[in-house]
């Protein structure tokens, strides 16, 4: 069995250590002692112990704590039903000003311990509190803790418990006589017996007479009497919203006020005489005195109360049944109205969306028209640069390596992560170790032969100058290629706007999927700078498709993966050939995953799970991806779990219904 726990919250670590040592010395290590400086954390730990069904024997608290003060902490422990047996002690100066009186009044404090406690007095206090704890909340610990308990208090407690048990047994016998043996007696017989007992015990108590319509008792009055009807009829009513509501006759018996008197609550009903009424009126003291002297009378009263409750419960069930029937009809009407309202709102939303889409189409067409000219200028300028800069560099012999490096960088094929590492090793092993292989690869060098060709263009050029020209030329080549890709991408975006307004894209043969992916990664480089991007490019055949639309698919999927992976996440892009006539592209991230309840809707319009929320927003990225992939005769699927989400696109080399 786990030892009982003592929790202590105080800012004075030395005081807590001394208290722990004294408790450990006194108990011989019978308790598990845990310390805190935060009242909130102590409350949380107490709840953990309760949930684990472990015993919490005592709580010591100072007043000055973090988050929640000591007084509030003790009150919070007191309010937990399963922790009320725990002994709560205030660890504070006895003569200092504090909230001890308030805590005692609230029942949240059992004792106070002065910080300068005397060990012997502390041990006596612990013995008293532990004994009370075992008696009230942990009798199963008696054998384990009996050396620490006050056995005299334990003996008195068990004698008191035996007396209470005997009294309870006697009362149960009375209830048994009333409920079981008295079932053969009618209400009139029981009430007659009860009246005879009252008359005999109280020497013919007072009888009162009430005229018709006279109010015998008002609702809200103090429950100090009961009325036993000897003759006549009454009705019960309450004032609700300024009107008197009369209750069913089954709610009234021959005894008025007995329930309120027994519960010591204010009178719930008003009682009015219907006919002339003659009643036996008894005070609370008279009833208590008579019951104490007559078990038979107590049995009769219990029977009357139970039968009265049964009648009222039966009537309550009848009323509840009618209420349920009315509620069912009202709920049906409400559901019908709600369905009609939803239909109207949906129709209104469709009209608004139709208008918005029409407006969006107009804006898209206008935007495409406005962007055409600057995009064309960018593409022309890029073309001129691609023609003029290599010629300019090549016209000067001293810059021949830079011109050749520029061409290599422009034409350099994209590398997978594995191929890039392999090339760096090859260059490092074959060339002078002083040449940084990573800088050569970044400049567009793809083999040792590429470097040797550049080196031969100017044999007299020093190694550092040659490397500088290769890097500068490669950087210019890469920048020109990026400018070309970006201008092409802008043109593709313009065409995409046209696609939303009207379909005018053309199909192209010889589309290199690896190149389209690499172009997208180049454009998204700024968004991916905090992510690790791993590329596994396979040897893919070209296919027939619409390059800009495929790039749009890769853009959406890669951006979604980057957002899901958060900062410093990992993206893995894999391309493979699947069979003789298909290719497969996988875009994987190590983010939080897509919630299970969101997965069936992931390709639905206006549905998004961005920022960890599932909501209806713009959410057009994945539906557009699905449309584009299916237009190319392919399929898009996904698998997701926490830590891994992968979108898989399978495309045929020749779409079945592509345009000529």
Domain ranges of the chain: 5-149, 185-293, 379-487, 505-652
Question: How many other C-beta atoms can be found within 10 angstroms of the C-beta atom of residue 2?
Answer: 10
Strands 270-273 and 215-217, by their bridges, are antiparallel
| Residue closest to 592 by CA, chosen among 572, 611, 618, 619 | 611
Question: Taking residues 412-430, what's their average pLDDT?
Answer: 79
Q: What was the pLDDT predicted at 614?
A: 35
Run of H or E residues at 639: strand 635-641
- Cα Rg of the chain, angstroms: 45
Question: Taking residues 444-466, what's their average pLDDT?
Answer: 77
**SS in 3 state form for 422-443?**
HHHHHHHHHCCCCCCHHHHHHC
Q: How confident is the model at residue 538 (pLDDT cuts 50, 70, 90)?
A: very high
CA distances from 441 to 108, 415, 425, 474, 532 (A): 74, 10, 11, 9, 18
Lowest mean pLDDT, pick from 87-101, 346-360, 373-387, 549-563:
346-360
pLDDT over 60 at 608, yes or no: no
Question: How many other C-beta atoms can be found within 10 angstroms of the C-beta atom of residue 406?
Answer: 30
Q: What was the pLDDT predicted at 414?
A: 73
| Residue closest to 528 by CA, chosen among 612, 486, 589, 579 | 589
Q: Scan for tokens 């000529």, then name that residue.
A: 660
Q: Collapsing DSSP states into helix, strand and coil, what is residue 60?
A: strand
CB 63 within 8 A of CB 73: no
Q: Scan for tokens 């300068």, then name that residue.
A: 116
pLDDT over 80 at 630, yes or no: yes
pLDDT tens profile 265-319: 787 778 888 899 998 888 888 888 887 778 777 777 777 777 766 666 676 677 6
CA distances from 577 to 538, 545, 636 (A): 7, 16, 16
Q: How confident is the model at residue 353 (pLDDT cuts 50, 70, 90)?
A: low
Greater confidence (578 vs 481) lies with 578
Q: What was the pLDDT predicted at 17?
A: 95
What single string gives the DSSP state of each residue in 437-484? HHHHHHTT--SHHHHHHHHHHSTTS-HHHHHHHHHHHHHHHHHHHHHH
CB 25 within 8 A of CB 51: no
User: In sequence order, what are the residues at sequence separation of 6 or more whose Cβ sits closer than 8 angstroms to the Cβ of residue 156?
Assistant: none
What single string gives the DSSP state of each residue in 86-100? SEEEEES-TTS--SH
Question: How many other C-beta atoms can be found within 10 angstroms of the C-beta atom of residue 538?
Answer: 15
pTM (predicted TM-score): 0.33
CA 254 to chain centre: 56
pLDDT tens profile 221-232: 877 788 888 888
Q: CA 143, 146, 151, 157 torsion: positive or negative?
A: negative
Q: What was the pLDDT predicted at 403?
A: 75
What single string gives the DSSP state of each residue in 18-47? HHHHHHHHHHTS-SEEEEESBHHHHHHHHH
pLDDT tens profile 550-580: 988 998 899 989 988 877 789 999 999 998 8
Instruction: Tell me, yes or no, if the two domains 185-293 and 505-652 fold the same way.
Output: no
Sheet holding 570-578, edge to edge: 532-537, 570-578, 582-589, 644-652, 635-641
Topology at the third CATH level for domain 185-293? Jelly Rolls (2.60.120)
Domain at 505-652: CATH code: 3.30.565.10
Two tokens at 228? Answer: 């036993």
**How many Cα atoms are found within 13 Å in the side-chain-facing hemisphere of 75?**
14
Q: What was the pLDDT predicted at 178?
A: 47
Class of domain 5-149: alpha beta
In angstroms, the CA 141 to CA 148 distance is 11
Q: What was the pLDDT predicted at 163?
A: 66
């Amino acid at each position: 069995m786990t030892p009982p726990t003592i929790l202590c919250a105080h800012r004075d670590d030395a005081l807590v250590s001394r208290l722990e040592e004294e408790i450990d010395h006194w108990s011989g290590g019978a308790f598990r002692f845990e310390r805190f400086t935060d009242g909130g954390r102590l409350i949380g730990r107490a709840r953990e112990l309760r949930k684990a069904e472990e015993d919490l024997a005592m709580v010591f608290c100072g007043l000055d704590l973090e988050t929640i003060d000591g007084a509030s902490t003790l009150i919070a422990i007191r309010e937990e039903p399963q922790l009320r047996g725990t002994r709560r002690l205030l660890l504070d100066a006895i003569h200092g000003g504090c909230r001890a009186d308030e805590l005692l009044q609230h029942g949240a404090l059992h004792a106070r311990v002065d910080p300068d406690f005397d060990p012997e007095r502390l041990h006596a206090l612990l013995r008293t509190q532990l004994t009370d704890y075992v008696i009230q909340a942990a009798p199963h610990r008696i054998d384990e803790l009996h050396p620490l308990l006050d056995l005299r208090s334990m003996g008195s407690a068990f004698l008191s418990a035996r007396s209470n048990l005997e009294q309870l047994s006697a009362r149960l016998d009375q209830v048994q006589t009333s409920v079981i043996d008295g079932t053969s007696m009618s209400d009139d017989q029981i009430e007659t017996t009860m009246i005879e007992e009252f008359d005999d015990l109280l020497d013919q108590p007072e009888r009162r007479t009430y005229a018709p319509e006279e109010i015998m008792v008002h609702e809200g009055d103090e429950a100090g009497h009961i009325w036993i009807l000897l003759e006549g009829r009454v009705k019960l009513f309450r004032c609700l919203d300024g009107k008197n509501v009369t209750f069913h006759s089954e709610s009234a018996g021959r005894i008025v006020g007995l329930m309120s008197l027994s519960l010591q609550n204010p009178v719930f009903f008003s009682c009015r005489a219907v006919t002339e009424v003659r009643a036996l009126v008894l005070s609370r003291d008279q009833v208590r005195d008579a019951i104490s002297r007559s078990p038979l009378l107590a049995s009769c009263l219990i029977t009357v109360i139970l039968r009265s409750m049964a009648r009222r419960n039966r009537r309550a069930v009848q009323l509840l049944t009618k209420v349920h029937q009315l509620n069912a009809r009202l709920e049906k009407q409400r559901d019908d109205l709600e369905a009609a309202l939803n239909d109207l709102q949906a129709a209104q939303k469709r009209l608004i969306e139709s208008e918005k889409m029409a407006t969006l189409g107009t804006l898209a067409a206008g935007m495409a028209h406005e962007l055409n000219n600057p995009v064309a200028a960018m593409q022309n300028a890029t073309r001129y640069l691609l023609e003029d800069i290599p010629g300019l560099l090549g016209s000067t012999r001293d810059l021949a390596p830079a011109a050749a490096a520029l061409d290599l960088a422009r034409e350099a094929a994209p590398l997978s992560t594995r191929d890039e590492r392999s090339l760096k090793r090859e260059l490092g092993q074959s060339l002078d170790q002083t040449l940084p292989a990573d800088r050569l690869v970044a400049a567009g060098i793809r083999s040792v032969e590429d470097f040797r060709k550049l080196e031969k263009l100017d044999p007299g050029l020093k190694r550092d100058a040659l490397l500088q020209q290769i890097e500068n030329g490669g950087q210019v080549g890469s920048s020109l290629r990026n400018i070309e890709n970006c201008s092409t991408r802008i043109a593709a975006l313009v065409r995409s706007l046209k696609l939303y307004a009207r379909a005018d894209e053309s199909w192209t043969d010889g589309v290199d999927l690896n190149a389209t992916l690499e172009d997208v990664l180049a454009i998204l480089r700024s968004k991916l700078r905090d992510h690790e991007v791993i590329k596994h490019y396979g040897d893919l055949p070209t296919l027939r498709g619409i390059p800009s639309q495929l790039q749009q698919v890769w853009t959406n999927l890669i951006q979604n993966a980057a957002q899901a992976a958060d900062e410093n996440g990992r993206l893995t892009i894999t391309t493979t050939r699947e069979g003789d006539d298909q290719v497969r592209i996988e875009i994987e991230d190590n983010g939080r995953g897509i919630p299970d309840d969101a997965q069936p809707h992931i390709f639905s319009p206006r549905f998004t799970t961005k920022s960890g929320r599932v909501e209806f927003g713009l959410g057009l990225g994945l539906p557009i991806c699905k449309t584009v992939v299916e237009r190319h005769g392919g399929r898009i699927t996904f698998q997701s779990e926490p830590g891994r989400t992968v979108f898989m696109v399978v495309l045929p080399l020749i779409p079945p219904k592509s345009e000529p």
